[in-house]
Amino acid sequence: MAVNLSTPNPADLRPVAGVRLGVAEAGIRKANRRDLTLIELAPGSRVAGVFTRNRFCAAPVQVCKAHLDGNDIRALVINTGIANAGTGEGGLAAARETCAATAQRFGIAAQQVLPFSTGVILEPLPVERLVAGLPAAQADLRADGWFDAAHAIMTTDTLAKAVSRTVEVGGRQVTITGMSKGAGMIKPNMATMLGFIACDAALAQPLLERLVREAADESFNSITVDGDTSTNDSFILIATGQAGNAEIVDAAGADWEALRAAVIDVAVRLAQAIVRDGEGATKFMSIVVEGGAQREECRKVAYAVAHSPLVKTAFFASDPNLGRILAAIGYAGIDDLDVNALKVWLGNPDESVMVAEHGGRAASYVEAAGARIMAHSELSVRIDLGRGQAAATVWTCDFSYDYVKINADYRS
């Protein structure tokens, strides 16, 4: 059950000028489910992306990277059920055939199509089923297709994830809408997910590429469910240029700052939704590390705590066995860490208590307070390293019995 997350209201998802989405049931892996999504982009749209760093990256990821070099993308095609990863040359051929078939329907070149897959690894993509589903997906294309598309890209997700917001840029209203999927096999770089955000702003390509990296760093690269980095992770940012604002060409002005903040806000909300819908999750946890010498060491500590199965199972049980947090901090890899300067707090929306200071248990801490705080579904661990001014936040969830059940039965 997702932690304080609900299905998006279709009325809250705003169309983005220059983007149409359609879905279909192609029977990629299971019958009678929407598993194929087409996204059509208006001419002149600009696209940038960041992808998994897993060396076993999936065939569609490899094809996407190659096609983005041409930077005249007009269509995206997404299938669920089969990841088309660990499939060798046959997988690459299937991804290319997907692009060719999609391009033929739109009257564009195959290099103008980006393919995406998610699902089971090491199984061949039934490309003939995908191709057979394209006419229905194309017939379904519409500007208000975000709600259905967010459902069609799901795998083990329990809820669709999509969000919109608007912002004024250059005296024009810019719409930003995005969707993501992911619930397990979540760890940067990237987090195990697919994410798509589109806006109708006019934005120069170099800034779009900068923004997709910065947004990923603040959002999808700041979450973890289980520490497994997927083969298929992809985050795509689209700017159609149809809002009518003067094109943003440098990062010095208020227009850039307004657009940047709004895009990052959408990305963070989508990333947090993935953690809230983590497989079997019952708790949403913010690991906030401050007082670091550099941001990267803060992230190392945050991830050590967030990845720890011992920490995550303790939070599931609401068991204030909080020495596990200190142990994770200690093995995070900061060789000159002064544990006597360290402070740790445990909190929820209602209260916060200091747990550790001066190298051990805080004098004011009582276990009953820890148990009371941990009974909540929204929790925070705040860690002050006492080394400097840098900070970082990572969002994660607990480990429950259901995580094991979901992944043990994933292919059934």
For the sheet with 343-347, list strands across it: 360-361, 352-357, 343-347, 378-384, 284-292, 390-397
Give Cα 37 distance to the centre of its chain: 18
Q: Give the residue ranges of the chain where pLDDT is below 50.
A: 185-186, 188-192
Query: Residue 58 has which token pair?
Result: 């999936």
Give Cα 280 distance to the centre of its chain: 17
CATH entry 3.10.20.340 includes domain 284-408: yes
Q: Which residues contact 255 (CB under 8 A, 6 or more apart)?
A: 169, 170, 245, 246, 248
The predicted pLDDT at position 185 comes to: 47
Q: Does residue 158 carry a catalytic annotation? A: no
The predicted pLDDT at position 1 comes to: 65
Query: Residue 1 has which token pair?
Result: 């059950």
DSSP-assigned states of every residue in 213-229 = HHHHHHTGGGB-SSSPP
pLDDT in tens, 357-389: 999 999 999 999 999 999 999 999 999 999 999
The pTM (predicted TM-score) of the whole model is 0.93
Angstrom distance (rounded) from CA 73 to CA 67:
8
Angstrom distance (rounded) from CA 351 to CA 181:
32
The answer to whether 33 touches 313, Cβ cutoff 8 Å, is no
pLDDT in tens, 61-109: 999 999 998 779 999 999 999 999 999 999 999 999 999 999 999 999 9
The predicted pLDDT at position 229 comes to: 62
In terms of phi and psi (left: phi > 0; alpha: psi -120 to 50; beta: otherwise), the region of 394 is beta
Residues β-bridged to residue 37: 23, 78
Angstrom distance (rounded) from CA 285 to CA 304:
14
The predicted pLDDT at position 127 comes to: 97
Q: Which residues contact 257 (CB under 8 A, 6 or more apart)?
A: none
Q: How many CA atoms lie within 13 A of 158 on its CB side?
A: 18
Q: Please state which of the four CATH numbers 3.40.50.720, 3.60.70.12, 3.40.50.261, 3.50.50.60 is assigned to the domain occupying 10-276.
A: 3.60.70.12
Angstrom distance (rounded) from CA 40 to CA 78:
12
Q: Among all chains, which residue has been given the structure tokens 């975000």?
A: 146
The predicted pLDDT at position 151 comes to: 97
Q: Which residues contact 107 (CB under 8 A, 6 or more apart)?
A: none
Measure the CA angle with vertex 98, ends 109 and 175; round to 5°: 70
The predicted pLDDT at position 189 comes to: 44
| Count of CB atoms situated within 10 Å of the CB of 189 | 15
99-107 long-range contacts, CB within 8 A, separation 24+: 99/63, 99/67, 101/130, 101/131, 101/134, 102/38, 102/75, 102/77, 102/134, 103/75, 105/134, 105/135, 105/138, 106/40, 106/74, 106/75, 106/138
Q: Where in the chain is the domain with CATH 3.60.70.12?
A: 10-276
Angstrom distance (rounded) from CA 279 to CA 236:
24
Dihedral pair phi/psi, residue 146, rounded to 5°: -65, -40
Angstrom distance (rounded) from CA 352 to CA 346:
6
The predicted pLDDT at position 70 comes to: 77
The predicted pLDDT at position 186 comes to: 46
Q: Where are the alpha helices (DSSP H) in 57-202?
A: 59-68, 88-106, 127-139, 146-152
Residue of 118, 192, 224, 282 marked catalytic = 192
Q: Tell me the chain's radius of gyration from C-alpha atoms.
A: 22
| CA nearest to 377, candidates 292, 284, 309, 261 | 284
For the sheet with 36-41, list strands across it: 19-24, 36-41, 75-82, 113-120
Angstrom distance (rounded) from CA 71 to CA 115:
14
